């Protein structure tokens, strides 16, 4: 049984902790947060030891792994603390606030020989695993286009993002915090992304950064896609899936509905009805993958260096494209990572 500890006891940490309770082969023994009241409530609810200092917790508990569930600014210092002690890390996305910090995180893990996985749960949503199986079985022929549309009306008014209010003050928001999920999932489904052309806008003046995005993506092999989203309009219907997806092939099409249902042509081939956990039980599936790979030695699906070059680099290319009003090749950004 692997023993882990977690840093960060905020809104999403509770979702993750509920999932950890159902993961096989590991347990979370302790939690850390600088906010004493938040820490007290979290540890009481999940029956954990509590620490106000990460160094103290790591030295006292000597865990097998560290689960980082803080805001991005805390990721690099915490990865360094784990690296100094030879502890494996599961790190929440965004990987970092900036490209430079993300590169330093990957280099820190590589140079100290620790295993580091990004906690990118979207690709582990059950409906996307099913869609991947349909694509692998060639059920729609050669795919040539997809469209992802994501909507959530939590970014309106003078006090937006009630569950995570710090979103409104982020210097970069929608692409790095939310659309990164869809970018990573599309590369999971269709392979590497070669080029992006991105437009962003700020719809709510209270929000510091972008809350609307539209981007065109070209994958290796020529497949193209469109991702568009905002945080001011309601989705078409309620459901666990935050987005709708349409994938077109030469012989058929796949659609994902907000309900989590997957349609192949007009036939429903997957239903999310009755599924436990967060959005298709994706948090538990991500954590289980992390634990399984630590146990069997296999490579993480979102290992830090690979995730940096193939997902974070696309995020950076999107911001560069929006700023310079031009298409940007991912290799242009990835080259800035140097030797990681």
Summarised one tens digit per residue, pLDDT across range 128-137 is 999 999 999 9
Residue 296, SS3 per DSSP: helix
Q: Roughly what angle, to the nearest 10 degrees, separates helices 282-296 and 11-20?
A: 60
Q: Order of strands across the sheet with 267-270?
A: 267-270, 262-264, 253-256, 243-249, 143-151, 224-230, 212-219, 193-201, 328-329
Cα(47)–Cα(29) distance, integer angstroms: 9
Closest CA to 310 of 198, 204, 196: 196
pLDDT tens figures, 119-128? 999 999 999 9
114 and 82 Cβ atoms separated by less than 8 Å:
yes
Q: For residue 116, what are the β-bridge partners?
A: 89
Contacts of 266 (CB under 8 A, 6+ apart): none
pLDDT at 145: 98
Q: What is the mean pLDDT of the chain?
A: 97
**Model pTM?**
0.96
Residue 278: both structure tokens together: 């967060």
**Predicted confidence (pLDDT) at residue 339 exceeds the cutoff of 70:** no
Q: Rounded to an integer, what distance in angstroms lies between the CA atom of residue 10 and that of residue 30?
A: 15
Strand partners, 145: 224, 248
pLDDT, one tens digit per residue, over 149-171 is: 999 999 999 999 999 999 999 99
Q: Is the pLDDT of residue 336 over 90?
A: no
Query: Quick one: what percent of the chain has pLDDT higher than 70?
Result: 99
Q: Which two tokens stand for residue 67?
A: 């689960």
Among all chains, which residue has been given the structure tokens 């692998």? 136
pLDDT of residue 334: 82
């Amino acid at each position: 049984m692997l023993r882990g500890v977690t840093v960060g006891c905020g809104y999403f940490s509770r979702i993750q902790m509920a999932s950890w309770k159902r993961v096989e082969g590991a347990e979370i023994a302790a939690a850390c947060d600088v906010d004493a009241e938040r820490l007290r409530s979290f540890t009481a609810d999940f029956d954990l030891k509590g620490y106000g200092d990460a160094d103290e917790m790591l030295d006292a508990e000597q865990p097998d792994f560290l689960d980082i569930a803080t805001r991005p600014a805390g990721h690099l210092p915490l990865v360094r603390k784990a690296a100094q002690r030879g502890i494996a890390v599961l790190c929440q996305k965004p990987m970092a606030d900036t490209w430079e910090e993300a590169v330093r995180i990957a280099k820190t893990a590589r140079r100290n020989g620790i295993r580091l996985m990004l906690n990118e749960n979207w690709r582990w949503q059950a409906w996307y695993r099913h869609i991947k199986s349909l694509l692998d079985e060639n059920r729609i022929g050669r795919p040539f286009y997809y469209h992802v549309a994501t909507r959530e009306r939590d970014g309106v008014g003078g006090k937006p993002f009630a569950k995570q209010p710090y979103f409104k003050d982020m210097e970069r928001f929608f692409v790095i915090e939310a659309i990164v999920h869809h970018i990573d999932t599309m590369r999971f489904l269709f392979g590497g992304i070669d080029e992006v052309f991105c437009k962003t806008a700020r719809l709510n003046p209270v929000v510091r950064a972008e809350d609307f995005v539209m981007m065109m993506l070209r994958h290796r092999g020529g497949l193209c896609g469109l991702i568009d989203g905002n945080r001011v309009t309601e989705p078409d219907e309620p459901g666990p899936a935050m987005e709708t997806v349409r994938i077109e092939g030469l012989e058929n099409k796949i659609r994902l509905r907000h309900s989590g249902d997957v349609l192949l042509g007009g036939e429903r081939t997957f239903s999310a009805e009755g599924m436990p956990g967060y959005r298709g039980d994706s948090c538990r599936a991500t954590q289980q993958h992390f634990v399984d790979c630590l146990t069997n030695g296999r490579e993480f699906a979102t290992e830090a260096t690979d995730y940096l070059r193939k997902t974070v680099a696309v995020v950076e290319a999107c911001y560069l494209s929006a700023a310079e009003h031009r298409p940007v090749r991912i290799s242009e950004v990835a080259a800035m990572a140097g030797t990681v």
